[in-house]
Amino acid sequence: MLLPTLVVAVCHCLTAVAQTPPTLEVSVYDKSSVQPGFIYLAPNAIPFAGPYVYDSNGTIVFNGAGKLSGTVHGFQPCVYQKKQRFCAWKGTTALGYGSGQAVILDDQFNVIKALPTSDYHELKIVQAMDKGQYSDTAFLTVYTPVRRDLSAFGVPNEDDQGWVVDCHFRAVDPATNKVLFDWSSLDHVPLSEGYVPPTGGISGRTQRNAWDYFHLNSVARLDGGDYLISARHTSAIYRISGKDGSIMWRLGGKKSDFMLDNFSFDSQHDVRVVSGKGDILTLSLFDNEYNAFVQPPKGLSSGKIIEVDTATKTARLVHQYDSPSKEVGNPSEDGGSVQVTHKGNAFIGWGSDAQVTEHTADGRLVYAARFGVSGSSANSYRAFKAHFTGIKK
């Protein structure tokens, strides 16, 4: 399913431009081929970090630095109660996950709704009609350290037991914050499926250093009510029953139910449903091919479109979109996103590699830009492209 084209109203005088805001330096721009729209980023690890909107020339049209406390991730336009809004996550992060809140903001960037405490890896609000009634559902991730016997994985049972992260995804009614569906990785996925051992900052010996064996990083809902989730540390995509939470199939990882035809992915992010018809699912994903906890990199990062045949249990690569700087040999360590636009282009945020690109369906590069300041470690967990019109003067 394609992401919607959104029209967002915002006060033009929300904030004065900071003295040194993160620039967007455009190196490729084919105006006739790109999807019209504006670029949503939440750059971090730089001065004046925060949510920003840029036009395709690299000009800042909205500067939200300082508007939300803490680290900001997942800044994007969204629809809530049939109105165009902003969504973002704000909070603190450490060792690869976070604790904070997703918020919904009005067109003057006032918080109109705070969602339950969550991690930053997923924030998506979707709409549905059920028995003639319109409803919103928010998808959130929650990372919860819990006690487990990890002696089989080399973690001694000092002070009772070790610590492991139980990754949850929750479907929440944003109007009431009622949890509609709650899924736990430890209830369904054994520790042995992880590729990342308990080591270093995730040694499993303390609550702060809980072993993150799964690392849930995206949630999508399929037609019919099932879910598709991505786990970075198992390098797998899971189809989850919307009825009882059971795993219906795995794509990739140690226990894949599918044969992957001449392609692979590793430590991926942002798995989305592009389309579905019969037994065929077309998915987009950002293939990092790199995880800092498992050295060295397995390859270079890329955006991928894949076709999954659930009847024959095969998957094939449809398109691969490489970075224009791939000759440098610097894969994206974390983060990354792929958005298939209404035009059929792939708009890609490269996570910790501070750039955005856009490619036609046949792979031609039609847009490339870098953000941040020279020499910085700027990053944006995801990037989005959408309309940004009706600006109030």
Backbone φ and ψ for 253, nearest 5 degrees, come out as: 80, -170
- The confidence score (pLDDT) of residue 313 equals 98
User: Quick one: pLDDT band at residue 302, thresholds 50, 70, 90?
Assistant: very high
**Nearest to residue 72, comparing CAs of 55, 56, 86?**
86
- The confidence score (pLDDT) of residue 2 equals 45
Asked if the model's pLDDT at residue 159 lies above 60, the reply is yes
What is the rounded average pLDDT of the residues 302-313? 98
User: Quick one: pLDDT band at residue 328, thresholds 50, 70, 90?
Assistant: low
- The confidence score (pLDDT) of residue 8 equals 39
pLDDT in tens, 345-371: 999 999 999 999 999 999 999 999 999
Give 242-247's long-range contacts (Cβ < 8 A, gap of 24+). Answer: 242/181, 245/181, 245/183, 245/184, 245/187, 245/188, 246/188, 247/188, 247/189
pLDDT in tens, 193-242: 999 999 999 999 999 999 999 999 999 999 999 999 999 999 999 999 99
pLDDT in tens, 242-273: 999 999 999 999 999 999 999 999 999 999 99
- The confidence score (pLDDT) of residue 238 equals 98
Expressed in percent and rounded to 5, the helix, strand and coil fractions of the chain are: 5, 50, 45
Asked whether 92 and 98 are in contact (CB, 8 A), the reply is yes
Asked if the model's pLDDT at residue 18 lies above 50, the reply is no
- The confidence score (pLDDT) of residue 355 equals 94
Asked if the model's pLDDT at residue 276 lies above 90, the reply is yes
- The confidence score (pLDDT) of residue 320 equals 96
List CB contacts of 374: < 8 A, sequence separation 6 or more.
none
State the chain's mean pLDDT as an integer.
91
- The confidence score (pLDDT) of residue 329 equals 54
- The confidence score (pLDDT) of residue 9 equals 38
The reported pTM is 0.93
- The confidence score (pLDDT) of residue 384 equals 98
What is the rounded average pLDDT of the residues 169-192? 98
Q: Is the dihedral of CA 174, 180, 184, 238 positive or negative?
A: negative
Q: State the DSSP H helix or E strand holding residue 240, giving kind and residue range, or none if neither.
A: strand 236-240
- The confidence score (pLDDT) of residue 3 equals 40
Asked if the model's pLDDT at residue 12 lies above 80, the reply is no
What is the rounded average pLDDT of the residues 372-386? 85
What is the rounded average pLDDT of the residues 317-337? 84
pLDDT in tens, 108-144: 889 999 999 999 999 999 998 777 788 999 999 999 9
- The confidence score (pLDDT) of residue 11 equals 38
